[in-house]
A and B are shown apart, each in its own frame.
Chain A
């Protein structure tokens, strides 16, 4: 469970938004929308604990709630292969190294692509590689910042399957996206961040 109470975020002197209160239960997806610069990424960063909040409280149950964070940047070393990148993340998360190859296969990266340097991959392939981190270890909360960026139709369908499986398993998702969400996802709630008070 995720509960946000009267949350305000600012960047420098500018208040991004204030007075955000909501709660998210298991199996629910919060789709955060809004114009550029309204604070969507900052909200996700605050939920991940990467950004200080100006005021308000973020509570989770259990505390801390294990989470996966997929930001704008893919967190991939360009000179390493997708497999080497994922093996590193598997090691860091205490997951089995074999899980890295399985995760890359699950996001549709072919064996030959898994062994090429990341710098030679397309934007969509890099995004799939980043999304494969979600499969390394089961974590209740997924924080996804524009996860559909760069994905083709197959990639978006794949992402929908991943989200559906996670929500069906009782997971929580908070994601930003300027695109329409894949159809028939359970438990979707919308938040228009630019309609909240700010200055």
Chain B
């Protein structure tokens, strides 16, 4: 447990010295949603109808901004090799990095989505569903994106390849996340899509650290 905390503390220390890395995703989300607002007519009711898709897609793209760097520096400076030889299993080190990534990237997006949802015309109940969906969905984005980042860490220009590989894998998360908010807007039950999101998260938490560590070993070999 102490070793896992050491991995997460290191990530937070690194983030404290590279503020632009973790300020960029919420700023990106803010800019994209604002631009959508400027592009629509004032008080256009269709904006609130599209709000779930706008917020989910913008959050997804914002989270993607930081994924390429998740393992890149560790791969280049030799830290990854050392992690493989440490007593802490690599899947736990990888899990620690994913948790830190979500705290630094996903959590701010979840928190920012509430005022942005209101700005796009969602009512209080819809915003609660949006936040709940993102709270379940953004860890999935960190996990699935982290796996693809590990697969591509040894490749040149992985930054171009990463979104192309990640986006199709994330589609179910966006469908259920945005679908939950649409259901709330229409007065329908939201339990089913949120349960599906929780199920995807459970699968990610149980499988991704293992397959991710295998991808990292393959990259170093």
A interface residue numbers (CB < 8 A to B): 48-52, 67, 69, 71-80, 84, 87-94, 133
Known: A50-B220, A77-B10, A77-B73. A92 touches B78 (CB 8 A): no
- Roughly how many angstroms separate A73 CA and B75 CA in the complex, as a whole number? 10
Nearest first, the 9 closest Cβ-Cβ pairs linking A and B are A91-B6, A73-B78, A75-B78, A79-B17, A88-B10, A75-B82, A92-B86, A75-B79, A92-B3
- Decide if B83 touches A92 in the complex (CB within 8 Å): yes
What is the size, in residues, of chain B's interface with A at 8 Å between Cβ atoms? 27
Residues in B with CB closer than 8 Å to A89 are: 82, 86
- Roughly how many angstroms separate A182 CA and B35 CA in the complex, as a whole number? 66
Residues in A with CB closer than 8 Å to B88 are: 92
Residues in B with CB closer than 8 Å to A133 are: 82
CB distance from B219 to the nearest CB of A (A): 11
The prevalent SS among residues of A at the interface is loop
Q: A84 touches which one: B13, B76, B85 (CB < 8 A)?
A: B13
Known: A52-B221, A80-B14, A94-B2. A69 touches B77 (CB 8 A): no
CB distance from B57 to the nearest CB of A (A): 32
- Roughly how many angstroms separate A91 CA and B86 CA in the complex, as a whole number? 10
Residues in B with CB closer than 8 Å to A69 are: 81-82, 85
Residues in B with CB closer than 8 Å to A80 are: 10, 13-14, 17
- Decide if B3 touches A91 in the complex (CB within 8 Å): yes
- Roughly how many angstroms separate A68 CA and B17 CA in the complex, as a whole number? 29
Residues in A with CB closer than 8 Å to B132 are: none
Q: A50 touches which one: B5, B73, B77, B81 (CB < 8 A)?
A: B81
- Roughly how many angstroms separate A105 CA and B221 CA in the complex, as a whole number? 34
Is B7 an interface residue when CB atoms closer than 8 A count as contact?
A: yes
Q: B2 touches which one: A49, A74, A91 (CB < 8 A)?
A: A91
Q: What mask results when residues 79 to 103 of chain B are scored 1 for a CB within 8 Å of chain A, else 0? A: 1011111111000010000000000
- Roughly how many angstroms separate A71 CA and B9 CA in the complex, as a whole number? 24
Beyond known contacts A48-B81, A50-B220: 17 more, CB 8 A cutoff: A48-B85, A50-B81, A50-B84, A52-B221, A69-B85, A72-B78, A73-B78, A75-B79, A75-B82, A77-B77, A79-B17, A80-B13, A88-B9, A92-B6, A93-B86, A93-B87, A94-B2
- Decide if B85 touches A77 in the complex (CB within 8 Å): no
Is B18 an interface residue when CB atoms closer than 8 A count as contact?
A: yes
CB distance from A38 to the nearest CB of B (A): 20
- Roughly how many angstroms separate A51 CA and B220 CA in the complex, as a whole number? 8
- Roughly how many angstroms separate A49 CA and B2 CA in the complex, as a whole number? 25
CB distance from A150 to the nearest CB of B (A): 15
Chain B, Cβ-Cβ closest to A85: B10
- Roughly how many angstroms separate A48 CA and B5 CA in the complex, as a whole number? 25
- Roughly how many angstroms separate A52 CA and B81 CA in the complex, as a whole number? 14
